[in-house]
């Protein structure tokens, strides 16, 4: 299977294609925007644009041999690095490097087989020092097929926070400082504020805005082959991000990964608001004792739940909640009126939890503390 053409963002693509024809595309770009909005997809589109044998004023031709290889993710001069779970049984740095390259190859194979797979959720993933070193070595080599090499580095903010001294970020910085001639680096980030300032300052920044719900709906119908009613339902939850919409689609008999995470976020809120003290303990103990970074997506959804609660508390309706979600809020409101200002304080606690999760605090302790904080803020006497 091959990647589908980039969907939407037409005027941005045209601007980039024209910059390419004029030779004015920066050698190092940082694409930022919300999760699932298409940053990886745009980065790979740019890779094709840079490697295309006959680029058009609207973008890569998508028909030459180079475009075909890049669309199949097998172009030898297009190198894509993305966060991976930490491989098990990697006792030495050499073994870790080897295991990471194997895992990257397997993940690429999976993407080639299903380019519309949802974004992975729930497992802590990082870009490791070994990957940054691999990239550096590769950048010193000559291109294989084209006169240029393109490196796509996805979710650059995940550069090994667990490897002290930010060595991985520094290894990448070396390439950004002196990119070998003809080398292009395209970084993406959903949280550019977490990047080293030196990485931000060495890249030209490009914001990728959300699409309209209509654009997401037409993508789901025309490219993903989803029934219209279902396409409309998930597009309305997508916040203009195709990757997010795909995460809400059912996965066989199971709900989609984003649907599951959303349910888990409501369960957290339910435990926080429960008058039964044991429910907080039980909920927190159900988490694994390691891998706090895997909680980040859950915390994003928890913020969304809280914003919905704030809207409801200020009389703004229930936003298409499921019955069980309305019940959680109704039961809490029966105990105590939730003031919108309390929700703001609760959101601050979630933001603190996010910092702790990024710093790899024990997830059970983190969740237990957060549930108490949420109860205290939301049901403040």
**Residues making contact with Zn ion (CB under 5 A):** 52, 60-61, 64, 67
d(CA 241, CA 215): 10
In the complex, least distance from residue 42 CB atom to Zn ion, rounded to whole angstroms: 17
Q: Which is nearer to Zn ion, 56 or 90 (CB)?
A: 56
Q: Which is nearer to Zn ion, 67 or 346 (CB)?
A: 67
d(CA 380, CA 315): 19
d(CA 41, CA 223): 14
Q: What share of the chain is helix, strand, coil (3-state, %, to 5)?
A: 55, 10, 35
Q: Which residues contact 182 (CB under 8 A, 6 or more apart)?
A: 143, 147, 148, 149
d(CA 350, CA 345): 9
**Phi, psi angle pair for 120, to nearest 5°:** -65, 140
Q: Which is nearer to Zn ion, 58 or 102 (CB)?
A: 58
In the complex, least distance from residue 4 CB atom to Zn ion, rounded to whole angstroms: 16
The edge-to-edge listing of strands for the beta sheet with 204-207 is 78-81, 149-153, 183-189, 28-32, 204-207
Q: Which is nearer to Zn ion, 61 or 103 (CB)?
A: 61
Q: For the residues of 323-341, what is the DSSP string, one character each?
A: HHHHHHHHHHHHHSPPPHH
In the complex, least distance from residue 2 CB atom to Zn ion, rounded to whole angstroms: 13
Q: Which is nearer to Zn ion, 148 or 279 (CB)?
A: 148
Q: Which is nearer to Zn ion, 52 or 265 (CB)?
A: 52
In the complex, least distance from residue 20 CB atom to Zn ion, rounded to whole angstroms: 12
In the complex, least distance from residue 64 CB atom to Zn ion, rounded to whole angstroms: 3
**Phi, psi angle pair for 378, to nearest 5°:** -75, -40
In the complex, least distance from residue 39 CB atom to Zn ion, rounded to whole angstroms: 22
Nearest to 138 by CA among 97, 106, 110, 190: 97
């Amino acid at each position: 299977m091959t990647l589908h053409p980039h969907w939407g963002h037409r005027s941005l693509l045209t601007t980039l294609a024209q910059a390419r024809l004029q030779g004015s595309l920066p050698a190092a770009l940082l694409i930022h925007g919300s999760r699932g909005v298409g940053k990886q997809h745009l980065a790979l589109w740019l890779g094709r644009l840079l490697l295309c044998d006959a680029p058009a004023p609207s973008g890569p031709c998508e028909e030459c041999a180079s475009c075909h290889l890049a669309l199949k993710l097998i172009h030898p001069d297009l190198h894509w690095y993305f966060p991976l779970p930490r491989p098990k049984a990697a006792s030495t740095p050499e073994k870790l490097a080897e295991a990471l390259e194997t895992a990257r190859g397997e993940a690429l194979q999976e993407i080639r087989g299903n380019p519309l797979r949802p974004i992975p959720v729930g497992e802590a993933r990082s870009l490791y020092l070994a990957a940054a070193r691999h990239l550096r070595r590769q950048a010193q080599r000559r291109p294989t097929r084209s006169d240029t090499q393109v490196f796509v580095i996805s979710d650059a903010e995940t550069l090994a926070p667990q490897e002290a001294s930010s060595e991985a970020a520094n290894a990448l910085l070396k390439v950004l400082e002196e990119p070998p001639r003809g080398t292009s680096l395209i970084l993406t980030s959903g949280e550019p504020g977490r990047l080293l300032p030196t990485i931000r300052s060495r890249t030209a920044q490009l914001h990728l805005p959300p699409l309209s719900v209509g654009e997401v709906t037409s993508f789901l119908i025309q490219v993903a082959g989803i029934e219209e009613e279902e396409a409309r339902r998930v597009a309305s939850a997508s916040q203009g991000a195709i990757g997010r919409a795909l995460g809400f689609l059912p996965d066989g008999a199971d709900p989609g990964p984003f649907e599951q995470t959303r349910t888990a976020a409501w369960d957290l809120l339910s435990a926080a608001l429960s008058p039964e003290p044991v429910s907080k303990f039980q909920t927190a103990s159900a988490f694994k004792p390691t891998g706090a970074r895997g909680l980040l997506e859950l915390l994003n959804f928890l913020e969304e739940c809280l914003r919905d609660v704030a809207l409801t508390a200020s009389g703004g309706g229930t936003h298409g909640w499921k019955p069980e979600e309305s019940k959680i809020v109704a039961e809490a409101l029966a105990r105590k009126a939730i003031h919108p200002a309390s929700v703001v304080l609760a959101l601050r606690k979630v933001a603190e939890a996010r910092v702790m999760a990024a710093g790899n605090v024990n997830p059970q302790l983190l969740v237990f503390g957060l549930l108490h904080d949420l109860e205290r803020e939301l049901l403040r006497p």
